Amino acid sequence: MIFLSNNNGKLKISDHALQTMLGYRQIGKKDLEAGGILVGRWILDSNDVVVDDVSTPMPNDIRKRCFFKRNQKEHQQFLLQKWIESNGTQNYLGEWHTHPEPSPTPSPHDRKEWKRIIKEITGVDRLFFIIVGTEKIKVWEVSSLNGKIITLTLMERS
């Protein structure tokens, strides 16, 4: 999937990352929210970003029907492993989680968390947040400059 970013760049979600996230859609009435971090690359000399992989729910995450909180230490270990395997080219790009609704909308809690996260991360001007609904995937970009949350536009689905 490719989304148009706020700065005319593109956010590409690899097939591997996409299929991993889709595997956690909350199709059943008792399915719990799932989530993790986005790992990928900022493409040099462009505004493009590629999500190569995502972490998946870890044993110490908190998962409920309408709530997900990741265990920072376990997901950080996943990120460190990807960074080492890629010789330092893959980095933290943001977060993803599921919602039990067809076309997902971020909750006030989601928006508050995104703004908190962008304030804590140094060295990046933006991060991405993906919500996987039962039928659609949506992506938001959050600026570190002003905390503004922008919905990205789907360009094409691979």
**Per-residue pLDDT reduced to its tens digit, 2-61:** 999 877 899 999 999 999 999 999 999 999 999 999 999 999 999 999 999 999 999 999
**Mean of pLDDT values over 134-154:** 94
33 noted as active-site residue: yes
Share of the chain above pLDDT 70, in %: 99
Question: CB-based contacts of 70: which residues, under 8 Å, 6+ apart?
Answer: 35, 36, 37, 55, 57, 58, 61, 95
Per the CB < 8 A criterion, the answer to whether 49 and 39 are in contact is no
Residue 74 token pair: 């376990």
Q: What is the pTM of this model?
A: 0.95
Q: Which of 33, 74, 95, 156 is flagged as catalytic?
A: 33
Give the DSSP letter of residue 63. E
Cβ-based neighbours of 3, under 8 Å, separated by 6 or more:
10, 11, 13, 139, 152, 153, 154, 155
Beta bridge partners of 95: 37, 129
157 pLDDT more than 80: no
Q: What is the pLDDT of residue 147?
A: 87
- Strand, coil or helix: what is 5? coil
